[in-house]
């Protein structure tokens, strides 16, 4: 697969925005707003892209104000899948109260 050296994109959804930057084989997804059940389908597509379409994916949650149970379960499944595939997602700035639910693979 040919990677673009530099690429940038923004996905705007109701109450959630995702910025994507790629440099060589590293893709950085920066989430803003709320990750709720309204966004599970889009979040799933983003996570599939992060796991299967990029050599090294970073997911940054610094400006996320809320992660509901459905998105938290989806993030956990994606994280555990990435570990099993030996291509772990790098999760940064995850709200502290979410950590036990995310990393219990």
Type and span of the H or E element at 45: helix 40-52
Per-residue pLDDT tens over the stretch 39-94: 899 999 999 999 999 999 999 999 999 999 999 999 999 999 999 999 999 999 99
> Residue 105 above 50 pLDDT?
yes
Q: What is the pLDDT of residue 13?
A: 56
Q: What is the pLDDT of residue 52?
A: 93
pTM for this model (two decimals): 0.84
The answer to whether 97 and 67 have CB atoms below 8 angstroms apart is: no
Per-residue pLDDT tens over the stretch 9-21: 565 656 788 999 9
Q: What is the pLDDT of residue 34?
A: 93
Give the three-state DSSP class for 96. helix
Give the three-state DSSP class for 66. strand
Superfamily of domain 6-102: STAS domain (3.30.750.24)
Q: What is the pLDDT of residue 11?
A: 57
Q: What is the pLDDT of residue 14?
A: 66
Q: What is the pLDDT of residue 8?
A: 59
Q: What is the pLDDT of residue 6?
A: 65
């Amino acid at each position: 697969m040919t990677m673009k050296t530099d690429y940038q994109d923004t996905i705007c959804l109701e109450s959630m925005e995702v910025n994507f930057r790629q440099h060589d084989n590293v893709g950085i997804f920066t989430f803003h707003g709320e990750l709720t059940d309204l966004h599970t389908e889009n979040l799933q597509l983003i996570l599939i892209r992060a796991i299967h379409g990029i050599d090294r994916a970073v997911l940054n949650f610094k400006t996320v104000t809320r992660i509901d149970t459905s998105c938290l379960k989806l993030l956990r499944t994606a994280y555990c899948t990435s570990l099993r595939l030996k291509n772990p997602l790098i999760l940064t700035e995850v709200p502290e109260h979410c950590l036990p639910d995310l990393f219990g693979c």
